[in-house]
């Protein structure tokens, strides 16, 4: 999602937007968090209660944004409220602008892997933190010359991870305008070995790895497809196949019924309008995608009055929790049958 504003500006000059589904919900609840809660996930690993973790940064300010935060929301409370997780053990002058993230347990501990950008220095990282009840303990950072435009990260059981590298050259508006397949998916073994695992993708964005680590799914914002890869032990991704057609796909999360919840940005011009002026709205949609046959259904849609530019959705006990790119709240809605 980082730098996607410039990309959409270019894209909407040429390509029309997809049709917007009819509004699905009338009753909603908001949970206040920090600005730009772009990515969320459900944490049932680090505590004895289920909670939502939120990656928050002011995306409207982009490179001028102050350091962001990771928030938590205890999901079983009657009126859940967010609280900030304190970060510890960070090196002096540590830059923290969180983007996509993922959680994993291995070797008896729980870790959060977080994409972070230092736009002023043109440096990009994956940070590794140990997740505790009220704190995040910094462990180490990963960076590599291949990782020039990371978007999100998916963690693996052995400490390795994949990163979606959404462009070949960061900020190349012409490439995205022309739907250039310059994006890639990178693999890191959790030490310092890196490789380009897949390429020839037009703005790869969300990633998801199946529980037994046999397959990886990748959404492509400019290619309008959800791809499925076979994972190899060395991190390589083979046998790419189209899982379904999906316009403007963003982050991917697993639902309780083992389908994929994927948000989509369907109207580029309204997305830009919302970026420039918070009073203008941008449509939001959440799809439920069957991994077996690629069939998808709309489980949430709104013209932007309830929530604009939805970026991630998760489900817990019959409710959807929906994140967004800019405004400081998470939306909670009842999952419709």
pLDDT in tens, 77-95: 999 999 999 999 999 999 9
pLDDT value for 222: 85
Asked if the model's pLDDT at residue 3 lies above 70, the reply is: no
Measured distance CA(145)–CA(124) in Å, rounded: 9
Query: In the prediction, which pLDDT does 322 show?
Result: 98
Tell me which of 201-205, 289-293, 319-323 is least confident. 201-205
Predicted local distance difference test score (pLDDT) of residue 13 = 43
270: exposed, middle or buried (Cβ count in 10 Å: 0-12, 13-18, 19+): buried
- For all residues of the chain together, what is the average pLDDT? 91
Q: Is the pLDDT of residue 12 over 50?
A: no
Mean pLDDT of 159-171: 84
Q: Is 311 exposed, middle or buried (0-12, 13-18, 19+ CB in 10 A)?
A: buried
Give the residue carrying structure tokens 């790869």: 204
- What H or E segment, with its residue span, contains residue 284? strand 284-289
pLDDT, tens only, 194-213? 999 999 999 899 999 999 99
User: Is a pLDDT exceeding 70 seen at residue 5?
Assistant: no
Domains of the chain, residue spans:
4-334
pLDDT level of residue 120 (50, 70, 90 thresholds) = confident
Mean pLDDT of 217-223: 93
pLDDT band at 170 (very low <50, low <70, confident <90, very high): low
Q: What is the pLDDT of residue 167?
A: 78
- pTM score of the predicted model: 0.93
Question: Which residue, 317, 314, 318, is CA-closest to 331?
Answer: 314
Q: With contact defined as beta carbons under 8 Å apart, do 194 and 187 qualify?
A: yes
Say which CATH topology domain 4-334 has. Neuraminidase (2.120.10)
What is the spatial distance between Cα 159 and Cα 128, in angstroms, rounded to a whole number?
10
């Amino acid at each position: 999602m980082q730098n996607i504003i410039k990309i959409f500006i270019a894209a909407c000059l040429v390509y029309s937007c997809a049709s917007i589904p009819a509004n699905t919900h009338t009753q909603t609840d908001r949970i206040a968090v920090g600005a730009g809660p772009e990515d969320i996930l459900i944490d049932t690993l680090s505590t004895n209660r289920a909670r939502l973790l939120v990656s928050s940064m002011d995306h409207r300010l982009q490179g001028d944004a102050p350091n962001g935060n990771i928030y938590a929301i205890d999901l079983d409370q009657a009126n859940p409220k967010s609280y900030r997780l304190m970060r510890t053990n960070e090196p002096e002058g540590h830059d923290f602008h969180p983007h996509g993230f993922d959680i994993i347990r291995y070797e008896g501990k729980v870790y959060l892997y977080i994409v972070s950008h230092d736009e002023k220095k043109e440096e990009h990282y994956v940070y590794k933190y140990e997740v505790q009840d009220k704190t995040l303990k910094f462990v180490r950072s990963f960076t590599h010359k291949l990782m020039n435009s990371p978007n999100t990260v998916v963690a693996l059981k052995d400490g390795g991870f994949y990163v979606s590298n959404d462009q070949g050259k960061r900020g190349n508006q012409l490439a995205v305008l022309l739907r250039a397949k310059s994006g890639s998916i990178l693999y890191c073994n959790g030490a310092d070995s890196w490789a380009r695992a897949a390429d020839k993708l037009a703005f790869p964005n969300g990633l998801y790895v199946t529980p037994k680590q046999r397959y990886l799914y990748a959404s492509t914002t400019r290619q309008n497809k959800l791809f499925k890869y076979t994972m190899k032990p060395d991190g390589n991704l083979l046998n790419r196949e189209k899982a379904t057609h999906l316009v403007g796909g963003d982050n991917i999360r697993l639902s309780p019924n083992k389908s994929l919840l994927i948000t989509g940005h369907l109207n580029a011009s309204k997305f830009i309008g919302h970026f420039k002026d918070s009073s203008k709205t941008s449509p939001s949609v959440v799809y439920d995608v069957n991994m077996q046959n690629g069939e998808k259904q709309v489980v949430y849609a709104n013209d932007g009055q309830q929530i604009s530019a939805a970026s991630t959705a998760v489900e817990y006990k019959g409710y959807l929790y929906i994140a967004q790119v800019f405004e400081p709240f998470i939306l909670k809605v009842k999952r419709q049958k």
